[in-house]
Amino acid sequence: MQKGYEFCILTDEEDIIEYEKEMFTAFNKINPNYWICKHYKIIDNCRFQSEIPYKDQLIFAVKKNNRLIAAAAVNINQNNLMQFEKVGFSKPLESKNKKICEVLSLYKTDKLTGDFFYIFIDLLGFLGNELKNRNFDCLYSTSIERFKPLYTSFGSKVIDEKILDEEKKYLQVNYLNEDKNNKKVSS
């Protein structure tokens, strides 16, 4: 883990509002045509909110000096339509009879300067460990070409790719409670 950073799960309403505001700024700054920008609820013209209720999400965050600098939201309710299905991918057959979750968003704020790659790797490691502790088997995520190396460096395996909205997108999976040979890891 990077020194001087706090890795946590956001639960406080003020922290969630800051998370929503920073997500709005981050995604609109990079590309206002991203799927999230088109499909998330806009609140007060300055916040994004997923239609997935917060009771079904874990919001993982990195803070420095008590300020949010990076975050990732994970949908932990597999009983509803997954966001990756709304994006255009199908639920993999391999997910049947497994406890699955999905990354909804991953972003950094302008407060994170320098090389954010290692912060993201540590954030993904933090969330992966937390999800393992909650007995999730698979973590799904979607990305565009630009961010695919970040996910694959975390161990994600591309299981599908499609051209959606004139851009190549990937569906990836991390096997959380299995070793590299896809055998269940005993705790």
Beta bridge partners of residue 100, listed in sequence order: 138
Residue range 141-168, pLDDT digits in tens = 999 898 888 888 888 999 999 998 888 9
Predicted confidence at residue 153, as pLDDT, reads 84
Break the chain into its structural domains and give their ranges: 6-175
Percentage of residues in the chain having pLDDT higher than 90: 70
**In Å, what is the CA distance from 34 to each residue of 114, 165, 174?**
24, 9, 23
Residue range 87-146, pLDDT digits in tens = 999 999 989 899 999 999 999 998 877 668 888 889 999 999 999 999 999 999 999 898
Cβ neighbours of residue 32 under 8 Å, at least 6 residues apart?
none
Residue type, 182: N
**CATH node for 6-175:** 3.40.630.30
Helices (H), 107-165: 117-133, 148-153
Predicted confidence at residue 187, as pLDDT, reads 35
